Amino acid sequence: MSERSSRLPGFRKLEPSARLQAVAEFSALNADQLALLCQPGALPLNTADAMIENVVGTFELPLGVATNFCINGRDYLIPMAVEEPSVVAAASNMARLVRAYGGFSASTTTPIMRAQVQVLRCLDPHGARSRLLAAQQEIVDQANQQDEMLLSLGGGCREIEVHLFDDTPVGPMVVLHLLVDVRDAMGANAVNTMAEAVAPLVEKISGGEARLRILSNLADRRLARASVRIPATALDTPDYSGDRVISGMLEACALAIVDPYRAATHNKGIMNGIDPLVLATGNDWRAVEAGAHAYAAREGRYTALSRWEQDSSGALVGTLEMPMALGLVGGATKSHPAAQAALAVLDIKSADELAQVAVALGLAQNMGALRALATEGIQKGHMALHARNIAIAAGAMGEQVDIIASQLADGEGMNQARAEQLLRALGN
């Protein structure tokens, strides 16, 4: 385990300024980076205006830090930009639970992204496929002429695939895939440029007409994997034995495996952990979401992304495998000042490492949700934290928020009308 510890007892009870100081000490942030994390206006309006169209302002989300994480023997504090209560707490709690048993293990494959070139009106689609495959080196060389910098970093187009669709609403279709190692980039711009560059050559070889030339967000050659193993006794609660908790978690996972209605919520819980990190680091959370859900349906039926099992010793074993197209260069990761500060908190050295942290975070979030479902139910902990939002919506301010939230959690009915009633009583 690393010398720096992400185990910060009492962190949630600190004032935001004290939490920030603890993060600064862990991550060795400078004063400017600290200011970007905690002060409004981290994204200047002129920068925002250059990032997207029709800018009228900026929009803020709470930025929390998940603690206790040990991944591949290294401790992390993980920044998470999210509006939903209980997300950061659940991930932190599960990380605290498993760190005594080695924490999370994670790995990634080579960062291969796909670009597609759609070809229509081929008179001989099968013959076109054969000719394209025979010309693989010529096509790869043409693609690699577009990005010398990527090649200098050890990346570039590696190979091609050719897919046939004999019967579509617009006739037979040939689709060429460029498989590109994008290194530490998310890779969209690189692979899109390559697809457009090779399209004329693809037309010449195939005898068809190139239409769409764009990346695929189903990054099934760019996978991240995480796993965790803890003994049953670590899951003991005052009301449930660890074996009983594991049994409930396995039953919940089994439903998500066979039932797409449950799988959608199961996988949403995984993304509850991953999306806030992707967002905080300026990456494309929509691309990650699209890839995750497409991967979950890759065998023709939508199913759970994670698997939970009990090994021969009775220990709980959880695994998660999914596409993870994240980058450290380009896009908002470079243009958004707060994203740069979030990456500094992580002290991430590569896009692969960021993907490993993301998938471990998703597995922790999933573990927390299943553990709650297997014991007291999902609402008890979630609503206790949601009570603060209800109190704020009712008009509570400062110390009133905690007082009203506590009364809501302890009493009958957790809604805004009751919060307003309690607030009026507090003022008397």
Residues 371-376 have a mean pLDDT of: 91
| Catalytic residue (one of 177, 293, 336, 382) | 382
Per-residue DSSP letter, 42: S
Residue with tokens 């992390």: 76
**In contact, 146 and 193? CB cutoff 8 Å:** yes
Catalytic residue flag (residue 84): yes
**In contact, 206 and 131? CB cutoff 8 Å:** yes
| Catalytic residue (one of 49, 243, 268, 334) | 268
Q: What is the pLDDT of residue 395?
A: 83
Q: What is the per-residue DSSP string for 204-267? A: HHHSSEEEEEEEES--TTSEEEEEEEE-GGGG--SSS-HHHHHHHHHHHHHHHHH-HHHHHHHH
In this predicted structure, the answer to whether residue 394 has a pLDDT above a threshold of 90 is no
**CA 340 → CA 150, 187, 272, 337, 345, distances in Å?**
22, 18, 22, 5, 9
Q: Within the chain, how many helices (H) and strands (E) appear?
A: 17, 10
Q: What is the pLDDT of residue 274?
A: 98
Residues 361-377 have a mean pLDDT of: 93
β-pairing, 223-230 vs 105-108, is: antiparallel
Nearest to 19 by CA among 64, 62, 61: 64
Question: Given pLDDT bands bounded at 50, 70 and 90, which one contains residue 181?
Answer: very high
**CA 296 → CA 155, 226, 305, distances in Å?**
28, 16, 6
Catalytic residue flag (residue 163): no
Q: Count CA atoms within 13 Å of residue 17 on its CB side.
A: 0
Burial of 6 (0-12, 13-18, 19+ CB in 10 A): buried
Paired tokens of 256 = 């998500």
Helix axes 260-280, 285-296, angle to 10 degrees: 150
Residue with tokens 């002290």: 347
Residues 411-418 have a mean pLDDT of: 76
Q: Count CA atoms within 13 Å of residue 18 on its CB side.
A: 8
Q: What is the pLDDT of residue 1?
A: 41
Segment 225-242, tens digit of pLDDT: 999 999 999 999 999 999
Catalytic residue flag (residue 284): yes
Segment 104-153, tens digit of pLDDT: 999 999 999 999 999 999 999 999 999 999 999 999 999 999 999 999 99
Question: Given pLDDT bands bounded at 50, 70 and 90, which one contains residue 363?
Answer: very high
Name the average pLDDT for the chain: 94
Catalytic residue flag (residue 380): no
Question: Given pLDDT bands bounded at 50, 70 and 90, which one contains residue 417?
Answer: confident
Question: Given pLDDT bands bounded at 50, 70 and 90, which one contains residue 384?
Answer: low
Residues in the chain: 428
Segment 76-101, tens digit of pLDDT: 999 999 999 899 999 999 999 999 99
| Catalytic residue (one of 181, 275, 284, 352) | 284
β-pairing, 74-81 vs 63-71, is: antiparallel
